[in-house]
Structures are given as structure tokens and as C-alpha cells.
Amino acid sequence: MFGESATAAQAGPAFSEPESSAVQRAAVAAGFDAARFRAELRAFCRQQVPADIRARMRQHQYFTRGQRIRWQQLLQSRGWFVGHWPKAHGGQGWGPLQRFIFVEELERAGTPWLTHFGTSFLGPVLCAFGNDAQRARFLGPIRDSTEWWCQGFSEPGSGSDLASLKLRAERSGGHYRVNGQKTWTTMAQWADWIFCLVRTQAGGKPQQGISFLLIDLKSPGVTVRPIETFDGGQHVNEVFFDDVEVPVGQLVGQEGDGWTIAKFIVGRERLLVTEIGKAWHLLGVLQSIAAGRREGPRRVSDSAAFRRRAAELEVQYHCLRATAYAAVLEAEAGREHPVDASLLKIRGSELQQAIHDAITDLLARDGLAFQIEGLGGDLEGYRHGDPRLPGLLHEHLHSRAASIYGGSNEIQRGIIAKTALHV
């Protein structure tokens, strides 16, 4: 049984789902009790999510900037938001396993997506590559969610071929002058800062001239322009830089370290993008829609055709979860299987999309209204169908991007070919 509603109805078999002994052993070795940690997170998600956020979770609505920040701060009140940072830098020193369990449980409960840009990407980058001044200036506000970060990697001409990026940063005295454009920047409209891959040197191997620069979005010459997406949301943007002055102290590492840092980030991202907890949550949504809908004398959830389709998804889910934990345990032991990272990205996005297809196919029977006014708050006036309709359709459409962003599934397959086939 999947999902919050389904488990509640079933007196929680999923909550008593046994922890594999390999996970238990690895947790003990890492100094925590996996089952107890999960129980603590579940209780927290059941009891501590503020009512306004929970209301939006139920309807799959959009969260405001303020709601996301409040949720992150609540998590940090327990030290969890940056639990994966080293103790020396204000974290709890969690390894990959504890961090994975943490994210899985939050996703299972359907809580707001943690904006990873500061906490998962930049924080660890500063710990590993930054200098003391940078850590002192930037880590605190990330931990406390008082500064919002976004990720400036992609450009109009450089998507899959990231190394061809062109955003120029030319050094003059104590500053870099930055000119050019980033695009697809998630939540730049809410961000205070952006970390960018910039080109500090032309010629040579394209990867060599790339550096990692932190830029205040309030700097003169920065323009953020929203991109309209087909899911009815507003989350990606173009960011333009017109002679923006950036102090050289905001360069992370040395000039030319950008590519190495980018690979470090991508490596961190991979386990998280599996979103296995979200898949579990969505499978619960699917079950609850099927159970609440009749097909003649029977419930849809009792129809053989529906059950078979749900069973197919369940197989995919368990297969992915097993693979994800195998990869996490490898990472916990400091190793990496050449196939894992890309596999998780591919299968994670495929599963999420397949579940959304199944959900939408059920919703389609009542007519696919798309009242996007209902995404960000209460719908005034007439509402067609299930109150979750706008939110679930928005999520369906957005899930199409899961196989595109963060290195497309085609690029991931190329990576597996390169590393595993030695081509």
C-alpha cells in the first residue's frame, strides 16, 4: 500500500515496512538507528506541518516562497535541513544513507520540495572548494533559509553540451565583468543569489576555461525574465547579465575549477533525483482516486484492468527502490557503481511520469478541466471535478521535464555507454 491516505486507511502497513538488514547495518555503522530515524521523521511530518501548508499539500497546490522558507526553517529547528553538512560547518555530518532516508520520508509525506540549490549544491561546494571568508559569509543564510539561491548552468546555446557555455566573466582589478545570459533558471524569480558557471578563458579545451562565480541578483545589470511553461506554473526564468560587476572574492576555488565543481554538484544531485519517496506518495494518490471512483456497480480500484496497471507500477517502484538503496549503500561505503547514478535519474523520471499518466487517465474520465487559478490558492466560483485536478495536472505536465533537466535521459544513457561499455 502506498501513500498517506492509503496507509491511514490500512492502519499503516507501509509504515511497518521492514528496513533491510543491509540498511540497518550501514546505519548502525554510521551511528544512527534507521527505523527510529524514520519514525521520528514520520511523526514530525504528521504533527508539525503548519495547517496552511498541509492544506496545499492535500490539493497538490503550489507553495509560496514564504511557505517553503517556513517549512525549511522548521526542519532546521531540528538540525535536519543541513543535516548532511559536515559538523564543522553547522551540519550533523550525515552520510548519503541518512540524507537519503530523510529526503525519502519527506517526499512520502508529500511535504514541499526542498529547494536544493543552496542546501544540497552550494553548501557542500563551499565546504569542499570555498575559502573561510566565503563559508563565513554564505553558509549561515543558506542554513537559516534567509538567502535563496538558484543555479545558473544552462544557456540558450548550451543545454546538453554544457561545456560550450559562453557567459563571459572578464577580470579587471578587483572585479569580474559579467556579460551574457543564463536560462531555465529554476525559481530565479524568488532568489537572492545565483551561482554560475562562467567562461573566464577562451580557447583551449572548453571545460578548462570555466569558473564558478557567486552573483548577487540585486547587482545592477541583472535582469530576470520569466519563461512561460505549459504546466501553468511559473518556475523557470531567463537571467541576463549586462556588464555586471562581481567582486573577485566571489570566485569559488581557482579560475578554471568550474567544471570540476559542476561535476561535484551533479554527483550529489543524482541520488536525490530518484525521488523514490515521491513515487510512493503518488502511488497512494493513484489508489485513492481509484478507490473513490465508481465504474458501474464496482469501484475502479476493484477493476482487473486498473489493478493490473497499478501492479505494473508497483513492480517498477520496488525495483527502483531496491536499486536506489543499493546505490546509496555503495555511496555510503565511498564507492560508486558506474551505472547507478544515471540509472536512477532515468528510472526515477520514467516511473514518476508513468504514475502521472495513470493518474491522468483516471481523472480524464471526468473531464480534464485545468482551472489553473486553483494552483496557487482557493478557486473562487465554479470548480469542475476533483479538487486536486489543477494541481495533479500541473504536476503531470511538470513531470515531463524530469527527463530533461539535470542532464536529459538521453545524455544519461550516453554516460552509461561511455562508462560501462568503454566506447
Partner 1 sequence: MDDDALHLFEETLARYNRERYDAGQWSDYGRLPQGHSPERWAELQAMGCFELLRPEDDDRAAPMADLLPLYAAAGEALWREPLATVFAEPIAVIAQLADPARRRALLEGLISGERPLGYAHRETGDGAADAIATTATKSTAASGAGWRLSGDKAMVVGVDVCTGFLVSAIDAERDVPAVFLVDAAAPGLQLQRYRSIDDGIAADLRFDQAPAERLCDGAAAIAAANARGVILAAAEALGIMRGANRDSTDYLRERRQFGQPLLGFQALQHRLVEMLMRQRECEALVASVAEAFDHAAPMLSRQVLVLRVEVARALRHITREAVQLHGGMGVTQALRIGRYYRRALMLDSLHGTADLALEALSEHP
Q: Which residues contact 249 (CB under 8 A, 6 or more apart)?
A: 133, 134
- Complex with ligand FAD: residue 44 or 190, whichever CB lies closer: 190
- Quick note: the x/- pattern for partner 1 over 298-317, rule CB under 8 A, is --x--x-x---x--------
Q: Choose the contact partner of 337 out of ligand FAD, partner 1, none; CB within 5 to 8 A by kind.
A: none
153 binds, among partner 1, ligand FAD, none (CB under 5 to 8 A by kind): ligand FAD
Using CB under 8 A as the binding rule, whether residue 393 contacts partner 1 is answered as yes
Total residues belonging to the chain:
423
Residue with cell 481509484: 290
Q: Which stretch binds ligand FAD (CB under 6 A): 26-34, 83-91, 173-181, 402-410?
A: 402-410
Neighbours of 204 (CB within 10 A): 9
Examine residue 421 and tell whether it contacts partner 1 (CB under 8 A): no
Restricted to residues 161-190, the positions that interact with partner 1 (CB under 8 A) are 161, 164, 183-184
Please say which residue, 253 or 414, places its beta carbon nearer to ligand FAD.
414
Cα 201 from Cα 199, distance rounded (Å): 6
Element (H, E) at 323: helix 304-332
Q: Which of 19, 40, 238, 269 is catalytic?
A: 269
Number of residues interacting with partner 1: please give it, by CB under 8 A.
Answer: 52
Burial class (CB in 10 A: 0-12, 13-18, 19+), 243: exposed
234 φ, ψ (degrees, to nearest 5): -130, 100
Residue 371 contact partner, candidates ligand FAD, partner 1, none, CB within 5 to 8 A by sort of partner: partner 1
Place of cell 541518512: 98
Identify whether the C-beta of residue 313 lies closer than 8 Å to the C-beta of residue 286: yes
- Sign of the Cα torsion 6, 11, 13, 19 reads positive
For partner 1, the binding residue among 15, 129, 240, 370 (CB under 8 A) is 370
**Contacts with ligand FAD, 169-208, as mask; x by CB under 6 A:** ---------------xxx----------------------
Nearer to partner 1, 222 or 368 (CB): 368
Look at residues 145, 170, 173 and name the one whose alpha carbon lies nearest to residue 65. 145
Neighbours of 239 (CB within 10 A): 25
| Phi, psi (deg, nearest 5) at residue 109 | -80, -10
Cell 520496488 -> residue: 318
| Residue 186: contacted member of partner 1, ligand FAD, none (CB under 5 to 8 Å, by partner type) | ligand FAD
SS3 236: strand
- 234 near ligand FAD, rule: CB under 6 A: no
Beta bridge partners of residue 241, listed in sequence order: 180, 222
Candidate segments 49-57, 99-107, 288-296, 331-339, binder of partner 1 by CB under 8 A = 288-296
Question: Which partner from the list ligand FAD, partner 1, none does 400 bind, CB cut-off 5 to 8 Å by kind?
Answer: partner 1
- Decide if 131 contacts 250 (C-beta within 8 A): no
Angular region, 370: left φ>0, alpha ψ -120 to 50, beta rest: beta
Assess 415 for contact with ligand FAD (CB under 6 A): no
Q: How far is CA 81 from the centre of its chain?
A: 14
Please tell me whether residue 350 adopts helix, strand or coil conformation: helix
Nearest distance from C-beta of residue 358 to ligand FAD, angstroms: 22
**β-strands 193-199, 149-152 pairing:** parallel
**Residue 380 lies near partner 1 (rule: CB under 8 A):** no
Task: Kindly state whether residue 236 participates in binding ligand FAD, applying the rule CB under 6 A.
Answer: yes
Q: How far apart are CA 261 and CA 379, in angstroms?
A: 44
Does residue 410 touch partner 1 according to CB under 8 A?
Answer: yes
Q: Does 48 bind ligand FAD (CB under 6 A)?
A: no
Per-residue binding string, ligand FAD, 137-156, x by CB under 6 A, is --------------xxxx--
| Site for ligand FAD contains 404 (CB under 6 A) | yes
Respond yes or no: is residue 40 known to be catalytic: no
Residue 403 as a binder of partner 1 (CB under 8 A): the answer is yes
Of the candidates 217, 162, 166, the one whose C-alpha atom is nearest the C-alpha of residue 194 is 217
Q: How far is the CB of 413 from ligand FAD (least distance, A)?
A: 8
Applying CB under 6 A, which residues contact ligand FAD?
A: 151-154, 159-160, 184-186, 236, 401, 404-408, 410-411, 414
Catalytic residues: 269
Applying CB under 8 A, which residues contact partner 1?
A: 154, 157-161, 164, 183-184, 227-231, 236, 293-296, 300, 303, 305, 309, 357, 360-361, 364-372, 382-385, 393, 397-398, 400-401, 403-405, 408-410, 413-414
